[in-house]
Structure 1
Amino acid sequence: MRYPNYKYNPRANQLLTILEKKPASRFTDLMNDSGLKNGVVSHYLMMMEKMGLIRSKKIKNQDWYFASTFDESKDFLFIHLRKETSKKILFFLLDGDATFAEILEHIKKSPSTLSIALSNLLKANLVIVELGVVKKYCIVDRESAVKALEQIKMNTFDTVKDRFADSFSYF
């Protein structure tokens, strides 16, 4: 074997670099961004996970990959920032607490789509509901959300891919 230690393998480093720039990447994202073939990416991901260089989370038949250098407690935040609807909600809530109607008006999605996205954000403990005369939604940890948003800088093509994937991620 030419590179007995995967840390020094150029392909492994290429995948690690992608995961550091784009936490919560899916298999196809890694394959497309690296230009490597399906089997090659699969092999490296499996070996790198065994070595502890990366970790994965499986949610509803989707695998999300992270560099092991990232804080594991932020995994769900990064996953939801890769989903267009959840990202819009989180961006909007950074400005302050909001009611369902205010969020709905801002994100321009159907009420059922918003309801499902908010439910997922509540389950992930990224958003909480403040009860009162009117229910208001707010971000649990604003500072972490801001840092994560700064880390994820997606180009237009990534946004289009995530918008498409977002359409199917709630079922």
Structure 2
Amino acid sequence: MSTRERILDYVTKNPGITFRKLAQELNIGIGNLQYHLRHLEKEGKIISKRLGGKKYFFPAGFEEEYRRLMIAISNESQRKILLLLAEGDKNQSEIAEKLNLAPSTIVYHTKRLERLGIITKIKDGKNTVYSLNCDVNVLVRIIREYKPKIWDKLADKLIDLTLAFRGEEE
């Protein structure tokens, strides 16, 4: 298998992978990887999207909505915010409190999610309320299908919570 075929195969199996992670996972030099990615894009075999200093790669034909969600869930804080908003609309302080994050961190991540078009915000005086702007079922399916390690972590946390409520925590 040629280097270019390896890259295409890996991007196809790992949509939304960042440039750095791709270089690390395939153990390919930066310049060499850039060269092949540029050719794969020109050939229409992959698509890239830049956001916040990172470049994400997807196989051609990967739906736009899925690309946006993959970028969003690649960050743990953003993923947590999305899963929290899946329960219902929340204001900034509720999100900060439930996720134990600083308000400035919430502002940073919600701005990124807004730019992706995944959440919307409504200002009501000093209060800002965020809501999910995507189908919850699609979000869950994306996490389950493309980020199974994340799904496993969520399942483990649910088990730990269940044990803690029963008083069986070790």
What TM-score bracket applies, with the shorter chain setting the length?
0.7 to 0.9
* 8 Å contact from structure 1 (residues 21, 151) kept in 2: no
CA–CA distance in structure 2, aligned partners of residues 26 and 114 of structure 1:
23
TM-score (norm 1): 0.73
Which of the numbers 10, 14, 22 marks the counterpart of 1:30? Answer: 22
User: Higher strand share goes to which structure?
Assistant: 2
1:144 to 2:144 alignment: no
Match of 1:116 in 2: 108
- Conserved 8 A contact 1:18-1:33: no
Unpaired runs of 5+ in structure 1? Answer: 1-8, 160-171
% identical equivalent positions: 23
- 1-structure distance, mates of 2:13, 2:101: 29
Q: Which amino acid aligns with 2:46?
A: I
Cα offset for 1:147?
Answer: 2.3
The match for 2:160 is: none
What is the count of residue pairs matched by the alignment? 149
CA deviations 1:145-165 (Å, max 9, x no partner) are 222222332658xx9xxxxxx
Residue type of the alignment partner of 1:145: L
- Give the Cα–Cα distance (whole angstroms) in 2 for the partners of residues 117 and 124 of structure 1: 11
**Structure 2: 5+ residue runs without aligned partners?**
154-170
**Could you say what secondary structure the match of 1:66 adopts?**
strand
Runs in 1 of length 4+ with deviation above 6 angstroms?
A: 131-134
Q: How does 1:70-149 map to 2 (within 5 A)?
A: 70-129=62-121, 135-141=128-134, 142-149=136-143
Give the TM-score of the pair, scaled to structure 2: 0.74
- Partner-residue secondary structure (3-state), 1:88: helix
Q: Which has the higher contact order (CA 8 A, sep 6+)?
A: 1
Q: Contact 1:99–1:135 (CA<8 Å) still a contact in 2? A: yes
**1:68 has 2:52 as partner:** no
Match of 2:5 in 1: 13
Q: Relative to structure 1, is the Cα distance of residues 152 and 107 closer, same or farther in structure 2, using a 3 angstrom cutoff? A: farther
Task: Kindly name which structure, 1 or 2, has the bigger radius of gyration based on alpha carbons.
Answer: 2
